Amino acid sequence: MQSPLSEFPDFLMKKALLLLMGGCFFSAAAISSVHAAEKATPPNIIIILADDLGWRDLGCFGSGDVKSPNIDCLAKEGIRFTTAYTTAPQCTPSRAGLLSGICQSRFGVETVIGAPFQKFAEEKQWGMPHEIRLFPDYLKPYGYVSACVGKWHLGYSEDHNPLHHGFDRFVGFLHGGSYFLEAPGGIPILDGTKKVTFDKPAYLTDYLTDQAIEFIGANKHRPFFLYLAQFAPHVPLQAPQEYLDRFPDVQNPNRRAFLAMMSALDDGVGRIMDFLKANHLDENTLIFFTSDNGGPTGDDPDKGENTSRNDPFTGVKGDLLEGGIRVPCIVRWPGHLPAGTVYDGAVSTLDFLPTSIAAAGGTPPGQLEGLNILPYLDGRKPPLVDRTLFWRFGIETAVRSGDYKLFRPYPGVCEFTNIRENITEDLTKGLESENPEKFREMDRALSEWSGRLAVPIWKNFFPEVALRVLNRHQYKGYEAYLPGETSLEENKRKWEITKKLYRESLGVDLDSPALLSKEASP
């Protein structure tokens, strides 16, 4: 294993070399002066969140065909994390955890808002509870202005507009999905609360980049927080010809579109960096880049699959295997964090908020669950190797503690392994019998943690996720699957199939009030 801090002794040497090479390099500011600067001028903070981007889907994470020179450059100028986790394997709960700094299951935002509940979300005003504070509220005392640009997915009704959750500016869409080429069409793009009208066709990824740059330009003389939640590379797989033309030799149209979408996402990062540099803002800006969940691998866009890759991990968007929750992650803050390093310690998107508060000169309040990771990254504290992280997503639960992981795909079944040695989570390498003491300790911790969580405000299970985990454990014979959301009637049918699946295979009653909130049933 590479030590998280193994590259530190070479750090200054590397920086000098990079400066000499004149390419994509670290700024000349000295790390030794940074802690005084931390208190002087609060840095701008930018989170760039990709949607459904798998762990392998960047050049700097080893993808052979994804071209991401600008995102790779962030990694060369910052830290690349090999063991970064989101708090959930799907959009809504993952975003709720990231923006609040609190595990979303503590306040009932446990599964996704969307099919088959799309129609109920607005009517029942499901969304981020208003009493839970988000990034903008925590940063406001330090003089920050905040913008949410892109996908929200934390409530569709007007009272859940980001403007009602502390953001000063919002441009984007409230729903979980949109179109790339038809946008503006289909799902409305909002500027604040008003629907945007477009004079000419726009490509969503480029449009959101434009809006991000406009916000930065308008606020360059004060500290700003920009949450840029790009929709790429989520389905539908759509890209304009100019991006498709960059991949003329790719035969698979879905893969070609994915690569083109990634190219647009990467161009956007490059344009933002160019703008920051041109305005002398890039050195005093802390940037996080990550994905909201693991990739929905596979090649059937009708099932939400986008050809993304999570290898070497097993699992996909929707489950708590590594492929569902381990994501590519990069953090860049010149002069404060070492450039061009790789960090193997376990970090979480829950860490983004406390880290940002610390960077702004504050002390993260006790209710936040993540860590200020700055002292772990600049060598003031030892590597994060023994950390414990918990997950609950519907009936799936998991805990990682140091090198061990315990995953319960559904009640009564567990997978326990050394995740560092068994990164593919091969079921034949289970350790329950070899290390029963550790197993019992983690199992107890997981059920105690889970027992303290809130009852979900809504429940949303997917037959396809159930099928995957059942098949992994040799439950066969369930082929029923209704893709997408078509009508209320079909939604109800989909829900009935899900319930039947769990009841007959596992004896689990999804309508049980003890398991989940009754209120949320359609």
- 455 Rama class: left (phi>0) / alpha (psi -120 to 50) / beta: beta
The total of other beta-carbon atoms located within 10 Å of residue 248's CB is 7
Looking at the Cβ atoms of 51 and 110, the one nearer to Ca ion is 51
Residue by residue, what is the 3-state secondary structure of 425-481? CCHHHCCCCCCHHHHHHHHHHHHHHHHCCCCCCCCCCCHHHHHHHHHHCCCCCCCCC
Kind of pairing, strands 347-348 and 79-85? parallel
All residues at 6 or more sequence positions from 249 whose CB lies less than 8 Å from its CB, including other chains: none
All residues at 6 or more sequence positions from 230 whose CB lies less than 8 Å from its CB, including other chains: 48, 49, 50, 51, 150, 151, 205, 208, 265, 268
- Asked if 178 and 151 touch (Cβ cutoff 8 Å), the reply is yes
Residues 313, 318, 319, 322: is their CA dihedral positive or negative? positive
Looking at the Cβ atoms of 78 and 172, the one nearer to Ca ion is 172
Give min distance, CB of 11 to Ca ion, in A. Answer: 34
Residue nearest to Ca ion (CB): 91
Looking at the Cβ atoms of 51 and 425, the one nearer to Ca ion is 51
Q: What three-state secondary structure class fits 131?
A: coil
Looking at the Cβ atoms of 57 and 292, the one nearer to Ca ion is 292
384: its two tokens: 């994060």
- Asked if 450 and 514 touch (Cβ cutoff 8 Å), the reply is no
- Asked if 146 and 139 touch (Cβ cutoff 8 Å), the reply is yes
Q: Rg of the chain's alpha carbons, rounded to an integer?
A: 22
Give min distance, CB of 51 to Ca ion, in A. Answer: 4
Looking at the Cβ atoms of 52 and 57, the one nearer to Ca ion is 52
Identify residue 209 by its one-letter amino acid code.
T
Q: What three-state secondary structure class fits 253?
A: helix
Give min distance, CB of 233 to Ca ion, in A. Answer: 10
Catalytic residue among 73, 103, 148, 153: 153
Give min distance, CB of 265 to Ca ion, in A. Answer: 14
Looking at the Cβ atoms of 50 and 442, the one nearer to Ca ion is 50
Looking at the Cβ atoms of 93 and 340, the one nearer to Ca ion is 93
Give min distance, CB of 98 to Ca ion, in A. Answer: 12
Looking at the Cβ atoms of 90 and 105, the one nearer to Ca ion is 90
Alpha carbon dihedral 121, 368, 319, 65, in 10-degree steps, equals 100
- Asked if 417 and 404 touch (Cβ cutoff 8 Å), the reply is yes
The verdict on whether 153 is a catalytic residue reads: yes
Q: Which residue is it, tokens 């911790």?
A: 445
Give min distance, CB of 292 to Ca ion, in A. Answer: 4
Give CA–CA dist 174/205, Å, rounded: 16
**Interface residue list for Ca ion (CB under 5 A):** 51-52, 91, 292-293
Give min distance, CB of 151 to Ca ion, in A. Answer: 8
**Nearest in space to 292 (alpha carbons), one of 91, 81, 45:** 91
Catalytic residue among 73, 91, 103, 329: 91
Looking at the Cβ atoms of 153 and 169, the one nearer to Ca ion is 153
All residues at 6 or more sequence positions from 486 whose CB lies less than 8 Å from its CB, including other chains: none
481: its two tokens: 């699957």
The verdict on whether 91 is a catalytic residue reads: yes
Report the alpha-carbon angle 269-46-60, nearest 5: 45
Give min distance, CB of 327 to Ca ion, in A. Answer: 10
Residues 86, 319, 448, 454: is their CA dihedral positive or negative? positive
Give min distance, CB of 301 to Ca ion, in A. Answer: 14
All residues at 6 or more sequence positions from 21 whose CB lies less than 8 Å from its CB, including other chains: none
Residues annotated as part of the active site: 91, 153
